[in-house]
Amino acid sequence: MTRQPRPPARFPLDLDQVHAPPAKRAMPAPSAPATVTTPAARLATVPAAVQRGTALLRPQRPLQQAARDAAAQHAPSGLGLDSAAVRARMVERLRASGVRCEPVLQAFGAVPRHQFVDSALAIQAYEDTSLPIGLQQTISKPSVVAWMLALLFEGSHARAQGDLGRVLEIGTGCGYQTALLARLGRAVVSIERLKPLHDKARANLAAHRQGDVRLVFGDGRLGHPPRAPYQSIVSAAGGDDLPAAWVDQLAVGGRLIAPCNHPERGGQALLVLDRTDQGLTRSWHDAVNFVPLKSGVQ
């Protein structure tokens, strides 16, 4: 889904990099020993005799196999033991960047992002970067997801009730944001139009699923009438306008947030729609760069 970088946004965030290719940066220096294993660290777990090569006297377990076994023990679950600490540092970076919504920060601290991406990318999971999830789609960078969810929390239902109520998510992708929403809402319906991603999300969420989550394979432009109305609607894909079904399915007191092509500025921006007793109000927020909202299923 990667597009060209866009001009700087007003967020105190690097929103123009929303969907830039993952940077090849090293993990930030940990303040506590992390279990992210380097090849050298993995080798350190190989018995000294094996490292010296004397273990080759035992032909059934040659040096390379022993090193492979040791590496396998640590990857990708090498993030596992200490992933809470790595996540806590990601949460502190989100807080430092201006995200102040405690429920959102707590959800980020609880959901293991590395388990939603390919194991080869797990080491990058807690960097503020988008990552490929297959079929030219990406998981959005954490700072963008955090800002969107924090904006959602400023809707009138969420401010009054302290949760996102019944949530409709368009664009399940790998299911990471679905897992966050499951902690923030009372029930979540998430729609994905690409069957392989719908299946991937189902597998990813099997271990993390909590609360009332329904994954739907279908065209999210139609929303999901059986569970409407929704107090929160959030889309991870953007088009020229908001599909009428989303607006129809938004509850009074509810808030919708979606990337949408800005009629005057050109390019995408976040559009927030609130439904009150008096009707609908729209407000435009920062420039973003999400994948296109497409019709039909594949």
* Choice from 18, 191, 272, 273 touching ligand SAH (CB under 6 A): 191
E-strand ranges in 57-121 read none
User: Are residues 164 and 232 in contact, defined by beta-carbon separation less than 8 angstroms?
Assistant: yes
Contact call for residue 204 and ligand SAH (CB under 6 A): no
Contact call for residue 194 and ligand SAH (CB under 6 A): yes
Please tell me the number of Cα atoms within 13 Å of 262 on its side-chain side: 17
Contact call for residue 238 and ligand SAH (CB under 6 A): no
Choice between 145 and 158, CB closer to ligand SAH: 145
Phi, psi angle pair for 199, to nearest 5° = -65, -40
Contact call for residue 219 and ligand SAH (CB under 6 A): yes
Please tell me the number of Cα atoms within 13 Å of 134 on its side-chain side: 17
Pairing of strands 212-217, 187-192: parallel
Instruction: Tell me how far apart the alpha carbons of residues 263 and 244 are, in angstroms, rounded to a whole number.
Output: 17
User: Are residues 1 and 268 in contact, defined by beta-carbon separation less than 8 angstroms?
Assistant: no
Q: Collapsing DSSP states into helix, strand and coil, what is residue 1?
A: coil
* Choice from 171, 185, 223, 229 touching ligand SAH (CB under 6 A): 171
Q: Which of 31, 83, 119, 140 is catalytic?
A: 140
Stretch of 38-46, 202-210, 272-280, 286-294 lying at the interface with ligand SAH (CB under 6 A): 286-294
Stretch of 202-210, 253-261, 273-281, 290-298 lying at the interface with ligand SAH (CB under 6 A): 290-298
| Size of interface with ligand SAH, in residues (CB under 6 A) | 24
Specify the amino acid at residue 74.
H
Choice between 269 and 291, CB closer to ligand SAH: 291
Stretch of 36-44, 188-196, 245-253, 267-275 lying at the interface with ligand SAH (CB under 6 A): 188-196
Choice between 180 and 187, CB closer to ligand SAH: 180
Please tell me the number of Cα atoms within 13 Å of 30 on its side-chain side: 17
Contact call for residue 183 and ligand SAH (CB under 6 A): no
Of 243, 178, 184, 163, nearest in space to 213 by CA:
178
In the residue annotation, 232 being an active-site residue is answered as no
List, as one string, the DSSP characters of 131-186.
Answer: EEEETTEEEPPHHHHHHHHHHHTTSHHHHHHSS--EEEEE--TTSHHHHHHHHHSS
Contact call for residue 227 and ligand SAH (CB under 6 A): no
* Choice from 78, 112, 173, 223 touching ligand SAH (CB under 6 A): 173
Contact call for residue 192 and ligand SAH (CB under 6 A): yes
Stretch of 6-14, 90-98, 118-126, 136-144 lying at the interface with ligand SAH (CB under 6 A): 136-144
Q: Which residues belong to the active site?
A: 140
Binding site for ligand SAH (CB under 6 A): 133, 137-140, 170-171, 173-174, 176-177, 191-194, 197, 219-221, 236-237, 291, 293-294
